[in-house]
Chains A and B, each alone.
Chain A
């Protein structure tokens, strides 16, 4: 999913009425948001965090210092690891690690739903379908649980793909 479409989807789920226009930069099509007052913002997670503040939903960025750092860590993970063009082995390792991490958690920070969950959810979409199929017989692994849990949150019910089309 193109970053602009992802951000538009995020705006909608955050309940922002005003829609922003995004441009893209470079080969990797990094999104750029031109704000009315002040410089433009570049980068998926940077813009996403900005939108969260715009919607007055700062709690989605974490409430304690620890939670805030963890949210940002997984946002970084999303753009550096999940978005990386990886080979099969890398993808397998990535899903295995996430699975292990989510073993004792509902969301990435534990029990609180945050922006990190939203962006990781979008980012994983391209792998998750085949993953679910493969693991169906063995009962739901934590990653699938996480995925369904996040999907079930109000506003994130539909898959991003259907919005894109």
Chain B
């Protein structure tokens, strides 16, 4: 047989790596052809590699060629391999070709390349770590490994594109790459030139279409049932039987919470929201809510946990807002601080402290850090040319200048950063600057300022990063941002501003200036803690004992991962620095951005007015948490997830489990006699629970939520297959079986209530009340699944947990929050010219009443349809129809529409 390859064709890699299998079994000739030569007579488009068989037939698919080589060596086909190869052809290849094209032909880098394949890489990593095997289809290397390795090698051989957090993928890839046939194939194909060796071939190929039209996806990565060993099952059963006694004693919550030697001390911060913006859903999921889940989880693990946040209050924006509202800046901050605190209280955020930055402690700590930097020679003094608006008679803060980006030409670049290219800008470098307040052109004036000498601190920063990053849970985007900053080289950053509302600069000649928020906002965490306890330094100057987790959206990474660490390192004062920097991507609203000015999107204070409970908001926001890639909030999807995942899956399971105990066993948990099938289920639940822990320990919040839903899916299936409601009516053995199934199910429900606690705290408490779950079991989550509701335990009253979201309800919310302004103006018009005869009804019926009536009409309509479908009694139908007509009449009146003149209107 004859193999045709072409220089730089990616398919050469797996084919050559697999070719070793046929050595000594068949004669294989290899010829090199041009990338545009058509070797297969029946194919219109060129395709390499191609294998011409001795029979004259052709194999033109890379994986089929590899498969053939493996088959010749006596290998047998199996389902798992087929599944991997099908996945490789349909999912991996489209994503990979897009990534390689980007990298090799278009010369793009970073996220542009990694973005398309990230999901696929994660899928491989999950599968490997789940099945606990070193290779894709088992204990030994096989066809699937070679085909996938070969496909991935050109990209992953560059460490920049092998995400560090994908540990299982990492070691699988390394193992294969060091094996002889793979190594040889890699050398032959890439010729030590890395991925550029593919260029001559890829250049001749048409540009691949993007793998997925919508890059933003909220679809979960489906989980598969792993195979369990006998030992795993036995261990799960033993742990289960120990039950409540394996729980450690509850640790009382201290006040104040302080680090304890020898324990795990977790300090959690959420980015400080700027005081005079009402946060939108994206802000909430990006920091406070994400950090809250982790804080609650950390407490469930009995780790010593302190979660803090607060409002960031200094700066020009506050000054301006104060002028607008005729208040002092302090009054503005007081007012808005309360608004923020209320929103987070409504979302049930479990802060230990929610403080603020305008306090004497902030001044004290900031000035101390500054003095230490100054005496150690890390502060530079320079004259700065600054933009001053003569019309407004003041120096313009960065956010009050807009102009054309000097790097990319974006028209609306801000004074400090360009939203388009992300580069940092010195306001003075902006082309065509404009004062954002009065739109006049500012002039350049010079003024003395202080600078943090970042270049001088760069080496210390790199040393610290070198110690911190490996093995930590910094998110990939945070690593990437910091790496690219360092690659470009750090520059001195100005830390003072000509303002009044800020922390005063304690230096002669700078009395009229304050510290720039860049420098002092991140110090807010320290001062907020100092206002909570005078022993704040036990948290903040204690890097040996404290694990610091900082949550934020990715735009905040440079301040937390670079500027603050540099300041802190420069003080030589042993500050606690961030161990795990957790940055999210962005959340979009429907298909666009949240925009306060356009009235698009849901903002924190509006969520409460929707009538949807806080826990449902929490669930949906966490379900779509922009973890690893941007995601989008969508009303329709929220309805779908509520009705499918919460109502039909989770709620349905927990409710059924509880109801069976109440209805069939008088409210007492029945005796359980576990069969091998039950034991297997137990082990599966344990495995999923472990997975949940693994994910949350790595702060993969969105993924861990899937584990909860997976367990409840197992639970539903278990009930469905075993049908306790039928068996309870059967003989002795059947009734015992019904008891076991009910008992196991209600214990799974109890476990779920605890796992759910970080995500939906109120629902979690409701379930625990309904089940009367013993106190310690409510507040501690171990890595084993325990029997916490033993036989004889009496549960409370069970009731449904979730409500269905209706289409029209969601439609009206969507309208309300969609493009607010347009709808509003239409509404106004309608109000100005109502039809005279319906004026009265319009004034009496509010939108809520209309909504209620609409719901009732829909419901009644369904009732009538059902009756008709069942061919029910005519009189009964007539009665229900009469009700329906009456409701419709009321609705028409409420809406101010003319009444429908009975029939005859149908033709239209």
Compute the total of residue contacts between A and B using a CB distance below 8 Å: 97
Q: Are A42 and B68 in contact (CB under 8 A)?
A: no
Task: Mark interface residues in A65-80 (1 if CB within 8 Å of B CB, else 0).
Answer: 1101110110111011
Q: Is the beta-carbon distance between A40 and B71 smaller than 8 angstroms? A: no
Q: Do A49 and B79 have beta carbons less than 8 Å apart?
A: yes
Shortest distance between the CB of B829 and any CB in chain A (Å): 40
The answer to whether B83 touches A70, judged by C-beta atoms less than 8 angstroms apart, is no
Residue total for A at the interface (Cβ-Cβ under 8 A): 35
Q: Which residues of A contact B (CB under 8 A)?
A: 25-27, 30, 32, 38-46, 49-50, 61, 65-66, 68-70, 72-73, 75-77, 79-80, 93, 96-97, 100-101, 103
Supposing A27-B219, A42-B83 touch, asked if A66 and B68 sit within 8 A by C-beta, the answer is yes
Q: How close is B46's CB to chain A, nearest CB, in angstroms? A: 12
Whether A76 pairs with B85 at a CB distance below 8 angstroms is: yes
Given contacts A68-B71, A76-B89, contact A46 B79 (CB under 8 A): yes
Q: When the two chains form their complex, are residues A65 and B72 in contact, meaning their CB atoms are under 8 A apart?
A: yes
B212 with A38: CB separation less than 8 A: no
B77 within 8 A of A: yes
Contact of B227 among A30, A38, A75, A77 (CB under 8 A): A38
Q: Which residues of B contact A49 (CB under 8 A)?
A: 77, 79, 82
Chain A residues contacting B85 (CB-CB under 8 Å) are 72, 76
| Chain B hits for A43, CB < 8 A | 82-83, 86-87, 90
Number of interface residues of B (CB under 8 A): 38
Task: With CB as the reference atom, state the residue of chain A lying closest to B86.
Answer: A43
Contacts of B79 in A (CB 8 A): 41, 46, 49-50
Determine if B67 and A68 form an interchain contact, defined as CB atoms under 8 angstroms apart.
yes
- Nearest-Cβ distance from residue B84 to partner chain A, whole angstroms: 9
- B residues near A, CB below 8 A? 41-45, 53, 55, 57, 59-61, 63-65, 67-68, 71-72, 77, 79-80, 82-83, 85-87, 89-90, 93, 212, 214, 217, 219, 222, 224-227
Closest CB of chain B to A6's CB: distance in Å?
15
A66–B59 CA distance with the chains assembled, in angstroms: 9
CB neighbours of B224 from chain A (8 A): 39-40
- Whole-angstrom distance between the Cβ of A1 and the nearest chain B Cβ: 17
* Option from B44, B45, B64, B83 in Cβ contact (under 8 Å) with A73: B64
* Bound CA span A76–B67, Å: 12
3 shortest interchain CB distances as A-B pairs:
A69-B68, A73-B64, A65-B71
* A69 / chain B contacts, CB cutoff of 8 Å: 59, 64-65, 67-68, 71
Most chain A CB within 10 A, of B43, B59, B83, is at B83
Do B89 and A80 have beta carbons less than 8 Å apart?
Answer: yes
Which residues of the partner chain A approach B225 to less than 8 Å between Cβ atoms?
38-40
Show 20 residue pairs from A and B whose CB-CB distance is below 8 angstroms, ordered by the A residue. A25-B222, A27-B214, A27-B219, A30-B90, A39-B225, A39-B226, A39-B227, A40-B224, A45-B86, A46-B82, A46-B83, A49-B82, A50-B79, A72-B82, A73-B61, A76-B86, A77-B61, A79-B90, A80-B89, A101-B42
Distance (whole angstroms) from the CB of B780 to the closest CB of chain A: 32
Q: Chain B nearest CB: distance from A80 CB in Å?
A: 5
User: B59, A32: Cβ atoms under 8 Å?
Assistant: no
B42 contact from A26, A41, A73, A97, Cβ within 8 A: A97
Q: Is there contact, CB below 8 Å, between B41 and A100?
A: yes
- A42 and B87 form a contact (CB under 8 A): yes
Tell me which residues across on chain B come within 8 A of A25, comparing CB atoms. Answer: 219, 222
Q: Using Cβ atoms and an 8 Å threshold, which residues of chain A touch B41?
A: 100
Q: How far is the CB of A98 from chain B (nearest CB, A)?
A: 8
**In the assembly, what is the distance between CA of A45 and CA of B85, in Å?**
10
Q: Which residues of B contact A80 (CB under 8 A)?
A: 89-90, 93
Q: Which residues of A contact B212 (CB under 8 A)?
A: 27
Q: Which of B44, B82, B86 has the most CB of A within 10 A?
A: B86
Q: Whole-angstrom distance from the CB of B275 to the nearest CB of chain A? A: 41
Q: How far is the CA of A96 from the CA of B64 in the complex (A)?
A: 22
CB-nearest residue of chain A to B55 = A66
Question: Taking the nearest CB of chain A, how far is it from the CB of B2, in angstroms?
Answer: 14
For B80, the chain A residues whose CB sits under 8 A away are 39
Minimum CB–CB distance from B493 to chain A (whole Å) comes to 45
List chain B residues, Cβ under 8 A from A65. Answer: 68, 71-72
CB nearest to A38 among chain B residues: B227
Residues in A with CB closer than 8 Å to B55 are: 66
* Interfacial chain B residues near A27, Cβ < 8 Å: 212, 214, 217, 219
B82-A97 in contact (CB<8A): no
Minimum C-beta distance from B680 to chain A (A): 10
Query: Which residues of chain B are near A61, meaning CB under 8 Å?
Result: 77
CA distance A70 to B86 in the complex (A): 15
Residue pair B89, A79 in contact (C-beta under 8 Å) = yes
A75 to B59, CA, bound (A): 13
Min C-beta distance of A73 to chain B, whole Å? 4
Distance in angstroms from B676 CB to nearest chain A CB is: 12
A40 vs B41: C-alpha distance in the bound complex, in angstroms? 39
Given contact pairs A30-B90, A76-B85, A76-B86, a sample of 19 additional A-B residue pairs in the complex whose CB atoms are under 8 Å apart: A27-B212, A38-B227, A39-B227, A41-B79, A43-B90, A49-B77, A50-B82, A66-B55, A69-B64, A69-B65, A70-B57, A73-B59, A75-B86, A76-B63, A79-B86, A79-B89, A79-B90, A80-B90, A100-B41
- The residue from A66, A72, A100, A103 contacting B57, defined by CB atoms under 8 A apart: A66
Query: A76 is contacted by which of B45, B57, B64, B71 (Cβ under 8 Å)?
Result: B64
Query: Please, how many angstroms separate the alpha-carbon atoms of A39 and B79 in the complex?
Result: 10
Q: What's the minimum C-beta distance from B44 to chain A, rounded to whole angstroms? A: 5
